[in-house]
Amino acid sequence: MSNRIRRVRSRAGWEIPESRVTPEGAAFPRRMILGAAASLAGGGMLGRAAAATPAPGFDPGRPLTLAEDATTYNNFYEFGTDKDIWQAAQRLPLSPWTIEIAGLVKTPRRIAIDDLVRQVPLQDRVYRHRCVEAWAMTVPWTGFPLSALLDIAEPTGSAKYVVFQTLADPKVMPGLGQSWYPWPYTEGLTIAEAHNDLAFIATGLYGKPLLPQNGGPIRLVTPWKYGFKSAKSLVRISFTEKRPSTFWEAIASNEYGFWANVNPAVPHPRWSQASERLIGTDERVPTQIYNGYGSYVAGLYAGMSNERLFM
């Protein structure tokens, strides 16, 4: 049994009721999800997850993406630039795994992932997932609020940004041979963004521990931003006063900015962001500002009109 998928009940306005997003046959059969959860997390937890009450306020209006699609159509450039890197990613050893907590914190240190998950409230969250390439999914993560990690890290008062770094191991990641990319994959959030309720650290997907191709064993999830902000397979979380240089911004800052909030009205220089293709279906649906989470996050950006918030 892994602690990483232990569950507690969560209830918030952004929570997508499972009854809404799981029409029969649209995802893993429900019995299979719950069965996996039971074998991994113990029956006691299961009841709570299954009974989580739908919260008002946010309805995705679309079914869960099939687990098979979400785990075989991926972006993980460390393993290659194609979408079908899932087999190559199996070389990533997920255990043991430690995370370095560094920079402007009370006590820089390393934490083993199992010690970390014992200290946090694990929850299930169904989120929309919107890539800058204009495809989208709806997926059920397990994990914990990023704010819980901040509480553990204890950043000092001078910290303004959280910086997320992915593993960069050329022994298992053939993509690192493409030396023109600014490895390691690095992303960043402001401290205020990191404290937002939606900012999430995932350790599971579809009721199972996160697979390598989805950023196992631990990744960031910021559903109001384009997917490239959600750095995978985290090995270092540091705190800085200066805004970090992030992977895609360093490659093409006019195409992929630091803020990268989803906005249908701000096109990518080479394509429209007005709609998105739902993976596993032939459907295109209109994109929503902040990926539909504006009521939870728009306030973070009040008065920031000088910044390119949506690219």
> By the criterion CB under 6 A, which residues form the site for ligand MTE?
74-78, 129, 131, 166, 185, 214-215, 227-228, 230-233
Q: How far is the CA of 189 from the CAs of 87, 283, 297, in angstroms? A: 30, 32, 13
Sign of CA dihedral 231, 256, 174, 103: negative
Minimum CB separation of residue 231 from ligand MTE in Å reads 5
Nearest to 134, CA basis, from 298, 291, 293, 292:
291
Minimum CB separation of residue 13 from ligand MTE in Å reads 24
**Closest to ligand MTE by CB, 223 or 227:** 227
Rounded CA-CA distance 178/174 in Å is 8
Residue number of the CB atom closest to ligand MTE: 227
Nearest to 183, CA basis, from 199, 168, 170:
168
**Closest to ligand MTE by CB, 74 or 288:** 74
Minimum CB separation of residue 129 from ligand MTE in Å reads 6
**Closest to ligand MTE by CB, 5 or 231:** 231
Rounded CA-CA distance 274/285 in Å is 9
Residue 184: is the preceding peptide bond cis (ω within 30°)?
Answer: yes
Minimum CB separation of residue 74 from ligand MTE in Å reads 3
CB 37 within 8 A of CB 207: yes
Minimum CB separation of residue 95 from ligand MTE in Å reads 18
**Closest to ligand MTE by CB, 45 or 237:** 237
- Helix (H) or strand (E) holding 40, with range, is helix 30-41
Minimum CB separation of residue 109 from ligand MTE in Å reads 23
**Closest to ligand MTE by CB, 119 or 178:** 178
**Closest to ligand MTE by CB, 176 or 300:** 176
**Closest to ligand MTE by CB, 114 or 169:** 169
Greatest CA separation for the chain: 51
Nearest to 170, CA basis, from 159, 162, 160, 179:
179
Backbone angles phi, psi at 34, to 5 degrees: -70, -35
CB 166 within 8 A of CB 235: yes
Minimum CB separation of residue 229 from ligand MTE in Å reads 7
Residue 174: is the preceding peptide bond cis (ω within 30°)?
Answer: no
